[in-house]
Amino acid sequence: MPHRYSLSWLLAALLPLAATPVLGDDYTQARQHLLSEIERDAQDTSLYLDREALDPRVMAVIGRVPRHEFVPANQRSNAYRNRPLPIGHGQTISQPYIVALMTDLIEPQPDHRVLEIGTGSGYQAAVLAELTGQVYSIEIIEELGEQASKRLARLGYDNVSVRLGDGYYGWEEHAPFDTIVVTAAASHVPPPLVAQLKPGGRMVIPVGSRFLTQQLVLIEKQQDGQLITRQLLPVRFVPLTGGHD
Ligand code: SAH
C-alpha cells in the first residue's frame, strides 16, 4: 500500500541520521564553508601577496576556533560569514580572511611571544594563541578588554594576557616581541612598537587615514635593526585611538 511504503521510506531515511555521531559543534560545516571562502579570497589577492594560498596551519586554526563565541548573541547566525561584524562601542571583529592573512604574514612559531594591539573580541588573539607560545594583547576600551579577557579564559586560552591601555606605546615589560600584530589603523607606524620588535621579527599593521583606504604594511626588522617595509594590500580597519598624534 502506498502509505506504508512512504512510512518505511521515511524511517529508512531518518535512521541513518539518528545513528550518525555528532562531531564538533553545530558550526563545523559553517566553518568549513568559511575556509573555502578564505581560499578564494587568497586566490583573488594572490597578485598583491605573491602567493596562491595561506599557510595550512593557519587555515586549520581558522577551521577550529569558535568565532561564534566572539560575536554578540544577535550576530551568531553571521559568525561564519567572511565579513567583519559589529562588537559594540563602534568596533568590529575583523573579517576572517584578514585575520587569517595577518596571522600567515607574521609566520607564527610555537615559541613566539606575540604582541597584539586592539584585543576587540579576542578572536585574533585566540587564533594567534593556537600557533604561538604567548600572546600579549592591549585594548583601549575597558568593557571590550574585560569581556575578551573573560571569554578567552573561559575558552581555555591560558597563554593570552589582556591589558587595558593605549597600545601605541606597546608593552615594555614583556618586550622584545617576535611578532607584533596591530588590528586598528594608525596614521604612522608607532616608534615604540618598532623599538619593541626583536631583530629578525615581523610586524603587520594597517597604515593610513581613518576615512580613506589604508594599506596593510608588513615590516621586517633585520638583525642589524634596519627595517624592510612592504605595502601589501588595501584594507579598511577602525582607527587606532589614544592620546598620541
Ligand atoms: N583584533 C580584534 C579586532 C579589533 S577592532 C578582534 O579580533 O576582534 C580594533 C580594536 O582596537 C578595537 O577594539 C579598538 O577599541 C582597539 N583600539 C583602538 N585604538 C587602540 C589603542 N590605541 N590601543 C589599544 N587598542 C585600541
- What tens digit of pLDDT does each residue of 77-114 get? 999 999 999 999 999 999 999 999 999 999 999 999 99
Angle, CA of 10, 11 and 16, to the nearest 5°: 110
**pLDDT score recorded for residue 148:** 98
15-59 pLDDT, tens digit each: 445 444 444 678 999 999 999 999 999 999 998 888 889 999 999
pLDDT value, residue 8: 52
Residues lining ligand 1, CB < 6 A?
91-94, 117-118, 120-121, 123-124, 138-141, 144, 166-168, 183-184, 238, 240-242
| Class (C level, CATH) for 7-235 | alpha beta
Residue 86 has what pLDDT?
Answer: 97
How far is the centre of ligand 1, averaged over its atoms, from the C-alpha of 10 (Å)? 52
39 alpha carbon – ligand 1 mean position (Å): 26
How does pLDDT run across 125-162, given as a tens digit for each residue? 999 999 999 999 999 999 999 999 999 999 999 999 99
- Nearest C-alpha neighbor of 179 from the set 131, 108, 98: 108
User: Which atom of ligand 1 lies nearest, measured to the CA of 124?
Assistant: 7
Tell me the CA–centroid distance for residue 106 and ligand 1, in Å: 18
> What does the chain come to in residues?
245
Which ligand 1 atom is nearest residue 244's CA? 22
Residue 9: per-residue pLDDT? 52
157-185 residue pLDDT tens: 999 999 999 999 999 999 999 999 999 99
DSSP 8-class letter at 104: H
| Mean pLDDT of the chain, nearest integer | 91
β 85-88/91-93 pair status: antiparallel
Alpha carbon nearest to ligand 1 atom 4, residue: 120
Taking CA atoms only, the protein residue closest to ligand 1 atom 13 is 120
Tens digits of per-residue pLDDT, 217-238?
A: 999 999 999 999 999 999 999 9
- Please tell me the distance between residue 241's alpha carbon and the centre of ligand 1 in angstroms: 9
Q: Which ligand 1 atom sits closest to the C-alpha of 93? A: 8
What pLDDT score does 131 carry? 98
Classified as helix, coil or strand, 52 is coil
Q: Which of 149, 151, 240, 244 to mutate to test the pocket of ligand 1 (most atoms within 8 A of CB)?
A: 240
Instruction: Enumerate the active-site residues.
Output: 94
| Cα-to-centroid distance, 19 and ligand 1 (Å) | 45
Q: Give bridge partners of residue 94 from the DSSP assignment.
A: none
Closest CA to 124 of 171, 72, 190, 58: 58
Report d(CA 159, CA 136) in Å as an integer. 8
